[in-house]
Chains A and B, each alone.
Chain A
Amino acid sequence: MPEAILPLLRGAIATLEIATCGTCLAVVLGVLAAVVGQAGAPLRALVAAYVSFIRGTPLLVQLLVIYYLLPRIGLDVTPFWAGVVALGVNGGAHIREMIRGALTAIPPGQTEAARALAMPRFWIWARIVLPQVFVLIMPPLTVEFSALLKGSALISIVGYVELTRQAQYQLATSSHPYAVLVATAAIYGVMCLAVGEVTRQLRRTSSRRGVAI
């Protein structure tokens, strides 16, 4: 059992890496979807379909579609990048919903005032709206990070060596396979609880400032 701990911790670092990359892509896609979703009707319908499809299908199936589809459109990707794209596309839909909620909390007078001053639309988003949106969605964003952290376990299926895959390797050679599984679950638990603590702190500070949504 002790000899399995180091590889498991290395796996945990790989899990953190892929979850972090996935969350970054998810933020980018979520912001894009939110901005595009505020535009005309056909684009809004497109974004709504994207969100509904992602929220209505399992991450596992999304991952497998992406993993097999990307090479078909000429992108020869490694399991790592297929995983990042899957986490990003999945998280993007959730983050778009968070941003949509946060947008209602920002007084319309601000964008109206900016438009009256002839501020370009890009700068209205970049300097007026989005900075406030990010303060608002910070707590749910950390929740999404821990969801993607757990979801990243599925990337082991397409062959990327992260915590779960590493656990399967250790399982095969260890004399105490059950202990390896329990240790794996415990490592995930510690990571998610730590993220949960960050969420709680963020919620506390934002409710003290009176900006909680």
Chain B
Amino acid sequence: MTFDSSVVSYGLPLLLGGLVNTVLFSLSAIAIALMLAPVVAVGRLSTRPSLRWMATCYVEAIRNTPFLVQAFLFFYGLAALGIRVDAGVAGIVTLSIFGTATFSESFRGAIRSVPLGQLESARAVGMSYRLALQRIVFPQMWGYLIPSLANQATGIIKECSVLSVITVPEVAMAAQFVIGETFAPAETYAMAAVLYWALTSTVTGLMSLANLWLTKRRRQNLAASLGSPLELDYTEA
């Protein structure tokens, strides 16, 4: 087996171009999912059966079907119904719907990681459900949420590659183009794999940094609010 280095010099710029699109598509899907997922999670934990049922159906439907089939459903399916959508738009929509479902599971776990007594006490002192979630539950769930979200975010980046099947111009699609010119599929896809690896490793690295920073800040806040001996100045006493 030999390795043709000209494939790298020709293919790498094109693949990097695809990687920029992968980042853009994933970031927009992640942003949309971050906005919608808490709503779905609260819906799943709602005491109202209709809300809970709807949210559960949505999340389970997405989690129990392959992403490829979802992409077909939204792209070819909508086209079959006579609704013409651009591949890029269909891609972002599919990725966001998928991302919202997976993120909502992270949020649900994070909300449940905060003891129920906290919410009940907040309600008992007269806070509305919404305010209790905002002020009491949400601020306490980050330690659980960040690692879980990081995991799901890399999942979104990885699923983005599947969108090449519905002709969204990201890395895997760029790879097909490079292969058309170089006839070196193994090298090209290996290169694409390394690029994905670099991207997802960067994301996990950044997320664990964010988590470290959050933990440190939380510990400082806690120390300050408890008036920890370490933080107090005893000289005046």
What is the interface of chain A, defined by CB distance below 8 A to chain B? 52-53, 55-62, 64-65, 68-69, 72-73, 146, 150-154, 156-157, 164, 167-168, 171, 177-178, 181-182, 184-185, 188-189, 192-193, 196
Contact = CB atoms under 8 A, between A and B. Distances in A.
B232 interface: no
A52 B198 CA distance: 11
Contact of A181 (B73, B159, B165): B73
Chain B interface residue number, banded: 35 or more
Interface stretch (B5-13, B33-41, B64-72, B210-218): B64-72
B158 A57 contact: yes
Determine chain A's interface SS by DSSP, over half rule: helix
Sorted nearest first, the 5 A-B pairs with minimum C-beta distance are A153-B66, A192-B64, A58-B161, A68-B185, A58-B158
Nearest to B199: A56
A122 to B, nearest CB: 33
Contact of B189 (A53, A56, A64, A189): A64
Nearest to A186: B65
A206 to B, nearest CB: 20
A163 B66 CA distance: 11
A53 B65 contact: no
Contacts of A178: 77, 80-81
Given A56-B154, A188-B64, A196-B64, 6 more contacts: A56-B200, A58-B162, A60-B172, A61-B172, A178-B80, A178-B81
Interface string B183-194: 001100110110
Contacts of B172: 58, 60-61, 64
Contact of A164 (B68, B171, B201): B68
B162 A154 contact: yes
B71 to A, nearest CB: 10
Interface of B: 1, 60-61, 63-70, 72-73, 76-77, 80-81, 154, 158-162, 164-165, 171-172, 175, 185-186, 189-190, 192-193, 196-197, 200-201, 204
A62 B162 CA distance: 12
Contact of B196 (A61, A157, A168): A61
Contact of A150 (B65, B185, B189): B65
B200 A188 contact: no
A156 B72 CA distance: 13
Given A61-B172, A73-B1, A181-B73, A150 B66 contact: yes
25 contacts: A52-B197, A56-B200, A56-B201, A56-B204, A58-B158, A58-B159, A60-B161, A60-B172, A61-B193, A62-B193, A72-B186, A73-B1, A152-B66, A153-B66, A153-B69, A154-B66, A167-B72, A171-B76, A181-B73, A182-B73, A188-B64, A189-B64, A192-B64, A193-B64, A196-B64
B190 A65 contact: yes
A88 to B, nearest CB: 17
Contacts of A164: 66, 68-69, 72
A192 B65 CA distance: 8
Contact of B197 (A56, A69, A154): A56
A171 B75 CA distance: 13
A25 B218 CA distance: 44
B76 A177 contact: yes
B189 A65 contact: yes
